[in-house]
Structure 1
Amino acid sequence: MSGIGPVEPGEGTHVQEPPAAPPATAAGLRRRRRRALLGAAAALALLAGAGALYTARRAAPEPPPAPPYPAQAVDLVFLNGVTTPPGVPPGGSSFAVALSVESGPPVTVTRLAQPYDGLSLTASPKPPFRTAPHAARKITITLRVTDCGKAPRNPGLPFLDVTLRNSRAIQDQSFLLGPRYARYLDHILQVACGNDSK
């Protein structure tokens, strides 16, 4: 015997043939046909179910993203001091701000206020007013010094309190208007209170 090639039968051995299959009967043929049909039907049902699931998942639209909170969509910027409108009592002065809505649904301003006890504030347009998305609105604010003793002595970072509402939420937000507004407010206080504010 060599180590190469297939094993050859030895002497006195012969190949055994597998037993012959019993002849097919009509009942056996029906059983085989029924099994084949059931297997094919199960495969078709599985494919149809997978196809329907795939179609349903593809056809369902994604829900729209939630609109932004109003404070995330709004910007408030100090423009300048303006000529005080007629009818403003002594100790009052006006300035303009621009409110812009960057995105999302329209935003309604329901309240404008400032944090100092010695000052009062009025706005034109008077709240509530609405601003459309991708638009800006000029607001004229009139401040009036009502009590020099309660007015701020040196307003370093003055802000305005604004209540905003859109279809998602109502939020109170404080907006810092920057150093130009701080200088403007300081000037108003110096003119209104004179030596009292020093």
Structure 2
Amino acid sequence: MSGVGPVEPGEGTHVRDAPSAPRPRRGPLERYFEQHRRAVLGALLISAVLAGSGYLHATRPRPESPPAPPHPSQVTTVAYLNPQAVDVETDPRSFSFGVEVTVESDPPVTVTRISQPYAGLSVTSDPRTPFRTKAGSPRKIMITMRVTECGKVPRNVGLPFLDVTLRNTHAIQMHSFILGPRYAQDLSHALQVACSNDFR
């Protein structure tokens, strides 16, 4: 044999395969991930979406709380209607008149008390207090004042008012309603009649 070159195997011989490099050993977590790759990636994706939506929910702007209902005196009016005929011979010291109580908006208002500033007068109402008035349903109230002591009532009433205690779901208030000049004239006349002897 002559020449240069690789030695070729003869008949019946073969090249022995080189042993393959050993595969690195994997831990149980790696084996689990390889077997369940799609499920694990899906679970991670769901976790990320839930965490993101939880963050968005926690940082969302808070809705404004609804406005508080108005104070009862802000939505209630009391209007003087007219004096009522009273039998002067039977009870010369009484004076009756009508008022209309109107509530402009919800919630309903309860009238818990009606009074007036003069110590010599007592006040009763029909219906008796407490009574409730709803928005859009004006209520007519009859008020009777009776002179109990002429020395404690004025001769001429300049600007008389009614003290009315009102209540709704927001507050309880005492409010003074000025009923106007016609009420002042009628009340002054009634007091003159009731106390004519004492005023001379």
Relative to the length of structure 1, the TM-score reads 0.68
2:93 maps to amino acid: G
* TM-align CA RMSD: 2.9
Taking a change above 3 Å as real, the CA distance of residues 122 and 49 of structure 1, as seen in their structure-2 partners, is: same
Q: Gapped runs of 5+ residues in structure 1?
A: 1-44
Taking a change above 3 Å as real, the CA distance of residues 64 and 142 of structure 1, as seen in their structure-2 partners, is: same
Give the aligned partner of residue 168 of structure 2.
Answer: 166
Q: Gapped runs of 5+ residues in structure 2?
A: 1-47
Correspondence 1:84 to 2:86: yes
Asked if the contact 1:98/1:139 (under 8 Å) is kept, the reply is yes
Specify which of 145, 148, 151 is matched with residue 147 of structure 2. Answer: 145
Asked if the contact 2:109/2:167 (under 8 Å) is kept, the reply is yes
Asked if the contact 1:102/1:135 (under 8 Å) is kept, the reply is no
Aligned-partner Cα distance in 1 for 2:86–2:52: 73
Correspondence 1:154 to 2:176: no
Correspondence 1:104 to 2:106: yes
- What is the CA-CA distance between 1:150 and the residue it aligns to? 0.9
Paired residues for 1:119-198 under 5 Å: 119-197=121-199
- What is the CA-CA distance between 1:117 and the residue it aligns to? 1.0
- What is the CA-CA distance between 1:194 and the residue it aligns to? 1.1
Aligned-partner Cα distance in 2 for 1:131–1:122: 18
Runs of 4+, deviation exceeding 6 Å: 48-59
- What is the CA-CA distance between 1:149 and the residue it aligns to? 1.0
1:123 maps to amino acid: S
Paired residues for 1:41-120 under 5 Å: 61-84=63-86, 89-120=91-122
Give the aligned partner of residue 7 of structure 2.
Answer: none
- What is the CA-CA distance between 1:134 and the residue it aligns to? 2.4
Q: Answer with 1 or 2: which has the greater Rg.
A: 2
Q: Percent identity?
A: 57
Asked if the contact 1:189/1:197 (under 8 Å) is kept, the reply is no
Q: 1:143 is paired with a residue of what secondary structure?
A: strand
